[in-house]
Amino acid sequence: MAPVIRSKAAMSCENAPSNLGASSSILDDTTNQPSTEHAVSTTQPATITLPTESQATKQSFKPEDKMLELFDVFGEDDFAVAFFFWLAMVLLGVLATLFFVSLSWITAAASVFCGFILFRHKMLKHDCLPSGRRWMTISDPNAPAPDTDSLPAVYFLYVLGSGGHSAEMIETIKQKFRGQKNQHRRYIITTGDKSSQNMIASLESTISDAYPDERAGTRDVFLIKRARAVHQPLWTAPFTCLMSAAHAVNALTREPNLRPFGTYGYQFKYPHVIITNGPATGLIVGMVAHLLKIFYLVPPHRLKIVYIESWAKTKTLSLTGRLFYWTGIANMFCVQHQTLARSIPDAQFVGAVTARVTPVG
Amino acid sequence: MASESAAPAGGSLAPPHCFVTVGATAGFRQLLAEVASPAFFETLAALGFTRLSVQCGPDLAWFEERVAGLDAEAKRGIEVEAFDLTNSMQAHMIACRSERGVRLPGCIISHAGTGTVLEAMRYSAPLVVVPNPTLMDNHQAELAEEVENQRWGIYGRLGHLAEAVRRIHALVAKGPLANLPPYTPPPFPVPESQRNKLFDWMALTAYPEEFRRQQHLLELHDSQGASSEGPRVPSSSQAGREEQQRMGLD
């Protein structure tokens, strides 16, 4: 897995300031490796030669330069292809093994494998020392705030879902945002989600208005396939989930074009914190991140997962919330309502991070 | 205040505006059907509404057909504007918000989707939330109940929409929402004292040494806060900060 990632990193480190530059870099890539597919090819007609153009038509809602600039061109997602290739090979290998190796050996190997995964899972759980409870209860304005300015890199990854989830996430980002030079943020949105694109564009223009200098940091947007459409039956979900998972690996391990490997090394290679608030895509990204940690594919202390239960859930956890809770893959599990916080023992009551509200009267 | 808003289209104030939204993600025909009924128009007219704008999502053609089916008398002179999606949600919502000397409070009728509800509450516009029962687990009902319990708005039940509009109208006329100052967007960036710092701590855990150092500073601060009895004296916190700076140097 690792060499695949490495080769991608070397591929298109070029910044994409203008649309033209971006499309030319894509052309170079396609001439170098003509056989691979494009990153967002799952939703695009295969005949289109210039992916940037098709992206522009996709956001026909408003041809905003802002948004085009945000859609950094990441070249091809050859990882997704390689992923399915390897998956097929592994399946073939397993089938072959079933014929040639005795059942006892297979059982032994499988149990060692499962044991390893469980062991790592427990280990990672113990790893997440901070409780967060203390940080929330600090009401003293003189208390030292976390100083992240001096760190080499601060890289947040936000997973946006659809509609309400995105609106909440944007508000959360606004409530936490602070201008600093060393930050990068990446938004993961699902294909065809135009309202989220609009929201990101307006958030980014707010940020660049407030911080016209370097303190605005760098940002990019990653498109991945939607895990479950609103009325999609649950039984077809696993297949679409697998597709999103393959794209999620790319989103988690691809360093930003604006923070090239040559200048920043591994500092911006992997996100530090993944924040998600309930869309199924967030769960997929969380799972993939956890698996990457289990198999030592990312350095330790990266990909910390923060789950914020949707503000809409006041008494019970959502399906995604329950899955995050049961699997325990979230390093921090936040809920926004007191009633819910009382019924969930380990949850972090953070108050309404997404809303500032006044009653009608 | 109360008499002012009770008078339909009184004086130079702009008459109340009603905005119906079903959100961007899924359609909500049951709500639209109820909006396009003569009984609903009658209630709006009785309360002094003159304009109705409807964001229909995927069911725009269907809704327009329904409205075209109503005769002029049933519409009671209410101007209807329908569209599928809009980029100017804010303008439509602010049109429903009261403003001192400019506008009477109108009403937003919304599906109980988080994004829409949050946005409507940001402008403190009168709000009726109607959960969409066809969505997964009827998950919107929970939010609608919370909205009603916390008095952020009214839980509008399908089949009783006109009644809900009457209720919110009466409620708002008594409360502070009937006479608001002009809308000012919240400041960005958020002032440091109100900022949510939780996720910055989380980012810090990616750098264990630095995290431990800053955590130690926090503990130091806590213990000093505990040792100084009674109300905090500024000098002690000053000393604490000096201590922290010294800690930071080594």
pLDDT over 80 at B228, yes or no: no
Least Cα separation, residue A148 to chain B (angstroms): 7
Q: Which domains does chain B have, with CATH numbers?
A: 2-178 (3.40.50.2000), 198-249 (no CATH)
CA distance to partner chain B, nearest, from residue A105 (Å): 40
CB–CB contact A136 B153 (8 Å):
no
Phi then psi for residue B117, to 5 deg, are -60, -45
Distance (Å) from the alpha carbon of A136 to chain B's nearest alpha carbon: 7
Distance (Å, whole) CA A358 – CA B122: 9
Contacts of B218 in chain A (CB under 8 A): 134, 138, 143-144
Kindly state the DSSP code that residue B12 receives in the 8-state scheme. T
For the residues A59-87, what does the mean pLDDT come to?
61
Q: Determine the pLDDT at residue A299.
A: 86
Helix (H/G/I), strand (E/B), else coil: B9: coil
Q: Where residue A262 falls among pLDDT bands split at 50, 70, 90?
A: confident
Comparing CB atoms, the residue among A132, A162, A319 nearest residue B25 is A162
What is the structure's pLDDT at A42? 36
Interchain CB distance below 8 Å, A361 and B171: yes
Run of H or E including A105: helix A103-127
At B212, give phi and psi (nearest 5°).
-65, -40
pLDDT one-digit tens code per residue, B79-97: 888 988 887 888 888 888 8
Residue A306: name the closest of A326, A276, A284 by CA.
Answer: A276
Residue A172 near residue A354, CB atoms below 8 Å: yes
Is pLDDT above 60 for B232? Answer: no
In whole angstroms, give the CA distance from residue B175 to residue B160: 23
CB atoms within 10 A of CB B102: 12
pLDDT-based confidence at residue A195 (cuts at 50, 70, 90): confident
Confidence of residue A135 (pLDDT cuts 50, 70, 90): low
User: How do residues B104-140 score in pLDDT, each as one tens digit?
Assistant: 889 999 998 888 888 888 888 888 999 988 887 777 8
According to the per-residue pLDDT averaged within each range, which of A83-87, A115-119, B219-223 is highest? A115-119
Question: What percent of chain B shows pLDDT beyond 70?
Answer: 85
Contact status, residue B195 vs residue A176, Cβ threshold 8 Å:
yes
Tell me which amino acid residue A321 is.
G
Give φ, ψ of B6 to 5 degrees: -75, -30
Check CB contact under 8 Å for B218 and A314.
no
In angstroms, the CA A239 to CA B143 distance is 31
Predicted confidence at residue B226, as pLDDT, reads: 59
Q: Residue A220 and residue B146: Cα distance in Å, rounded?
A: 36
Q: How far is B70 from chain A (nearest CA, A)?
A: 31
Domains delineated in chain A: 1-133+148-361 (3.40.50.2000)
Give how far Cα A262 sits from Cα of A12, A64, A254, A268, A299, Å.
Answer: 12, 30, 14, 11, 19
Question: Letter for the amino acid at B98?
Answer: S
Facing residue for B201 by CB, picked from A135, A318, A359? A135
Question: Of A316, A335, A311, A237, nearest to A281 (Cα)?
Answer: A237
Coil, strand or helix at B110: strand
Residue whose entry in the numeric block shows the structure tokens 């030079």: A181
Write the residue in A148, A163, A198 that is nearest to B204 by C-beta: A148
The 3-state DSSP composition of chain B as helix, strand, coil percent (nearest 5) reads 50, 10, 40
Q: List the single residue in A with minimal CA-CA distance to B223.
A: A143
CA–CA separation, A180 and A144 (whole Å): 17
- Distances in Å between the Cα of A355 and the Cα atoms of A20, A194, A262, B103, B249 are 40, 23, 41, 25, 39
The secondary structure element, H or E, covering residue A205 is helix A194-210
Q: Which residues of B touch A310 (CB under 8 A)?
A: 114
Q: What pLDDT, in 10s, does the model give residues B60-73?
A: 888 988 888 888 77
3-state class (DSSP) for residue A25: helix
> Average pLDDT in the A225-246 region?
76
B205 with A301: Cβ contact below 8 A? yes
Instruction: Read off the tokens for A126.
Output: 């113990």
Query: Nearest-CA neighbor of A142 among B187, B217, B247?
Result: B217
- Least confident span in A193-202, A203-212, B9-18, B200-209: B9-18
Amino acid at A200: I
Query: The complex's ipTM?
Result: 0.74
Give A117-166 as a DSSP string.
Answer: HHHHHHHHHHH----SHHHHH---TTSPPP--TTSS-EEEEEE--SHHHH
The mean predicted confidence, pLDDT, of chain A is 74
Beta bridge partners of residue B128, listed in sequence order: B109, B154
**Which residue of chain B comes nearest to A206, CA vs CA?**
B188
Query: Can you tell me the distance from the alpha carbon of B227 to that of B239, in angstroms, rounded to the nearest whole number?
Result: 13
A289's tokens: 């991140």
Is the pLDDT assigned to residue A13 strictly greater than 70?
A: no
pLDDT at residue number A133:
60
Contact A146 B152 (CB under 8 A): no
Q: How far apart are CA A151 and CA B197, in angstroms?
A: 16
Instruction: Measure CB to CB from residue A148 to each of B124, B171, B203 and give the nearest one.
Output: B203
Peptide bond into B189 cis (omega under 30): yes
Q: A176: which chain B residues are within 8 Å (Cβ-Cβ)? A: 195-200
Q: Do A167 and B118 touch (CB under 8 A)?
A: yes
pTM (2 decimals)?
0.74
pLDDT band at B236 (very low <50, low <70, confident <90, very high): very low
Q: How far is B190 from chain A (nearest CA, A)?
A: 6
With CB atoms and an 8 Å threshold, state whether A163 touches B115: yes
Query: Is the omega angle on the peptide bond into residue A256 within 30 degrees of 0, that is, cis?
Result: no
Q: How many contiguous H segments (helices) and E segments (strands) does chain B have? A: 12, 6
Contacts of B49 (CB under 8 A, 6+ apart): B15, B16, B17, B18, B78, B106, B107
Greatest CA separation found in chain B? 82
At B59 the pLDDT is 87
Contact A286, A330 (CB under 8 A): yes
Helix/strand/coil for B197: coil
- Residue A75, pLDDT score: 54
Question: Nearest CA to CA, how far is B39 from chain A (Å)?
Answer: 26
Say whether B203 and A154 touch across the interface (CB within 8 A): yes
User: Are the Cβ atoms of B118 and A354 closer than 8 angstroms?
Assistant: yes
